[in-house]
Amino acid sequence: MGSLFSKINNLISEDSPMGQLLQKTNDYSIYSFFLQRKIKMHELILSPLRRDNKPTFNIYPPKTPRWKGQLLFKDYNGESGNVFKFVKLFAFHNYNIHLKTIYDIITFIEDKLKLNTNNPVKIEFKETEIKENYAKNYGIKHFEKWQDYHLEYWKNYGVSEKLLNYYRIYPVKYLLNSQGKIIKNFEYTNTFAYWIHDKFKLYQPYEENFKKFFNQCPKEIKYIQGIEYCFGPKKEIIITKSMKDIMVFQAHTKEWENIIAPHGEGYNMKDELIYWLLQNFKKITIIFDFDYTGVKAANKLRKQLIKSRFYNNNFIKVKFVSINRILKRGKMEIPDKDISDFRLVHGEEKTKILINCLLNG
């Protein structure tokens, strides 16, 4: 049973217990039943797997062969997988039930969806699916030069135009479709493109959280944010959570630092990236946010590095910018949970002191 459950995310054959269940219903029906609504592909909703105050959960059709014919879910706290993993996590969070094996999960689904009765739950999904790589054919047009309001935004974080240009971060005027026609005008907004090799990631700081980024970078090691600038002689590296944090770190250190930022704290690091980190850097400092998602992701990454077959007594530590919480609108919040927020609140000198403590303390 354990070995079968360990293969829960592999290709599901029709004669397996999971395949037989999906012949009675389908994974879209299962998602819809537990979510109590029909969810569209890629639509962000409040997470059903934890307490959430902003949309951070979606389902989508994969392209990878091992997931053929399935719908996957992604929660921005780092959890992802197929419908059976979703049900396991959903049952634990919402029913306080620990489903230990795949057979427990199947029985739970059959019971809730009444699959062994004459009235099973089966919801057909007829909407045209949005392709996962929908951003790949888009282009952008930059401003010919930085506008004052663009530079003012970065000046608040101590980041200069020279550093922005070095990292190939530029203000965006228009988003273009594959025919070169304007489909979005950013002329009077603060919208920036992070160029990584030949791909870009748009950052819109004043949009709602789930609309801030528009990313066309594939999940390859060369498209990790900052990795193009990490080939100096220094045998230390920082892993942080965003390109903006990379910029703030570089702007407030005397020496050039090796810094990377995966596309989100829940990014699943593959062997190629793990190998690159452990072979090139003796000291690795992970600096994520001090919240549920950040702490979980930081500790998961540290454990992944230490347990890797490439580990060679590398010094790996987890640090947090701040652990100070305040009560705001009835909720405990961390006003300076990342280095960018800290710089905005506390200024240049305190930021330099903090960075020195984070890297050398």
Walk me through the domains of the chain, giving residue ranges and CATH numbers. Answer: 2-113 (no CATH), 133-218 (no CATH), 219-361 (3.40.1360.10)
The pTM assigned to this predicted structure is 0.66
Least confident of 55-69, 129-143, 297-311: 129-143
CA–CA separation, 354 and 261 (whole Å): 19
- Coil, helix or strand for 301? helix
Structure confidence at residue 162 (pLDDT):
95
- Coil, helix or strand for 360? helix
Question: Which one is predicted more confidently, 272 or 337?
Answer: 272
How far apart are the two ends of the chain, measured CA to CA in Å?
A: 46
Helix locations, 226-291, DSSP H: 243-251, 271-280
- Coil, helix or strand for 124? coil
CA of 154: how far to CAs of 128, 148, 159, 253, in Å? 40, 10, 5, 17
Q: How many CA atoms lie within 13 A of 123 on its CB side?
A: 17
Contact in structure between 259 and 237 (CB atoms under 8 Å): yes
Structure confidence at residue 2 (pLDDT):
42
- Which residue, chain included where needed, has tokens 């101590």? 158
CA–CA separation, 210 and 230 (whole Å): 29
Q: Which two structure tokens, joined as six digits, stand for 40?
A: 């569209």
- Close Cβ partners of 332 (under 8 Å, ≥ 6 residues apart): 325, 326
Average confidence score pLDDT of the chain: 85
Chain segment 70-118, per-residue pLDDT in tens: 889 988 877 888 999 999 999 998 888 999 899 999 999 999 888 887 7
One-character DSSP codes across 144-176: SS--HHHHHHHHTTT--HHHHHHTTEEEEEEEE
How much is the average pLDDT of 10-21? 78
Structure confidence at residue 240 (pLDDT):
96
Q: Phi/psi of residue 24, each to 5°? A: -80, -30
Nearest to 40 by CA among 113, 123, 125: 125
How much is the average pLDDT of 288-296? 87
- Coil, helix or strand for 198? coil
CB burial string 301-317: b at 16+ within 10 A, e below: bbeebeebeeeeebebe
Name the pairing type of β-strands 55-60 and 169-176: unpaired
Query: Quick one: which H or E segment has residue 284?
Result: strand 283-287
Q: Express as a percent the part of the chain with pLDDT over 70.
A: 88
How much is the average pLDDT of 314-327? 84
Name the pairing type of β-strands 283-287 and 315-319: parallel
Q: Which two structure tokens, joined as six digits, stand for 324?
A: 């100070």
Phi/psi-derived region of residue 78, left when phi > 0, alpha when psi is between -120 and 50, beta in every other case? left
One-character DSSP codes across 35-49: HTS---TT--EE-SS
Q: Which two structure tokens, joined as six digits, stand for 69?
A: 């014919």
Helices 292-307 and 271-280 cross at an angle (nearest 10°) of 70
CA–CA separation, 274 and 284 (whole Å): 11
